[in-house]
């Protein structure tokens, strides 16, 4: 592999599960199951490379509108994989969940909290899983928190900066996204990390659906990122 510039923060839109299953004559839930099995190998590779933050888009605020059977299968899959968190802890990976937890049953919220607590002292990769997440909802949530602080006299309007907004996002304390990867041939952000990706580089992959995504595809995206000239508005 060529000399790499390693992103501090990678975001992945795990797209194409349903189409992968349909191509094989399988129910859409089979695609989600196949896609979920890949996550650990990708997180492990990011940890090996020295990536500090990985955020994956697992379930959006809009996904609730899908057929109930598919939503239920995704929720049950989440329950299953929350039992596997100790494997991440053993590899020095810290787990975070970003999004609106209140949309999930209490047992899932409890497991999410337990997973975060169990891995809080890990010093390697911070692996964030976006669940019931939407970029616009996140910004709205942050704005409401700031408005409340202003109303309570804890913050003056003239003190509000971009850093203030960033500090109230679900990703507070994390660097902005450097690289966003989306397989499946779609060319859009789909409401994912829209505040944090202002200067992100995008790698869209036409030739692969998420359940077929491999470590070599992650490496390929990072190689492409390494060839980019990031000027951040300068020359």
Q: Which residues are catalytic?
A: 15, 63
Q: How long a stretch of residues is the chain? A: 235
In the block, residue with structure tokens 């997973």: 115
d(CA 46, CA 88): 12
Task: Phi first, then psi: give them for residue 3, nearest 5 degrees.
Answer: -60, 125
Sign of CA dihedral 15, 39, 28, 25: positive
Q: Known binder of ligand: residue 234?
A: no
Query: What is the spatial distance between Cα 220 and Cα 216, in angstroms, rounded to a whole number?
Result: 6
Q: Is 61 assigned to a binding site? A: yes
64 annotated ligand-binding residue: yes
Judge whether 62 is annotated as a binding position.
yes
- 32 marked among binding-site residues: yes
233 is in an annotated binding site: no
- Report d(CA 167, CA 58) in Å as an integer: 23
Q: Is 231 a known ligand-binding residue?
A: no
* Binding-site sequence positions for Mg(2+): 15, 201
* Binding-site sequence positions for substrate: 16-20, 28, 32, 60-62, 64, 66, 182, 188-190
* Binding-site sequence positions: 15-20, 28, 32, 60-62, 64, 66, 182, 188-190, 201
């Amino acid at each position: 592999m060529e000399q790499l510039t390693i992103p501090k923060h990678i975001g992945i839109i795990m797209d194409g599960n349903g189409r992968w299953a349909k191509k094989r004559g399988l129910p859409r839930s089979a695609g989600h199951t196949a896609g979920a099995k890949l996550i650990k190998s990708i997180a492990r590779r990011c940890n090996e490379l020295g990536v500090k933050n990985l955020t994956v888009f697992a379930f959006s605020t809009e996904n609730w509108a899908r057929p109930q059977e598919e939503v239920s299968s995704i929720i049950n899959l989440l329950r299953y994989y929350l039992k596997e968190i100790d494997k991440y802890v053993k590899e020095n990976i810290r787990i975070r969940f970003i999004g609106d937890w209140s949309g999930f049953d209490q047992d899932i919220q409890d497991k999410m909290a337990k997973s975060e607590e169990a891995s809080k002292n890990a010093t390697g990769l911070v692996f964030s899983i976006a669940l019931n997440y939407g970029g616009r909802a996140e910004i709205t949530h942050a704005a409401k928190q700031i408005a409340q602080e202003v109303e309570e006299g804890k913050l003056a309007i003239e003190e509000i900066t971009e850093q203030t907004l960033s500090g109230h996002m679900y990703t507070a304390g994390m660097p902005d996204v450097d690289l966003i990867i989306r397989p499946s041939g779609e060319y859009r952000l789909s409401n994912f990390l829209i505040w944090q990706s202002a200067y992100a580089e995008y790698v869209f992959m036409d030739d692969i659906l998420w359940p077929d995504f491999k470590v070599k595809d992650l490496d390929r995206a990072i190689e492409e990122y390494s060839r980019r000239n990031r000027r951040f508005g300068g020359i």
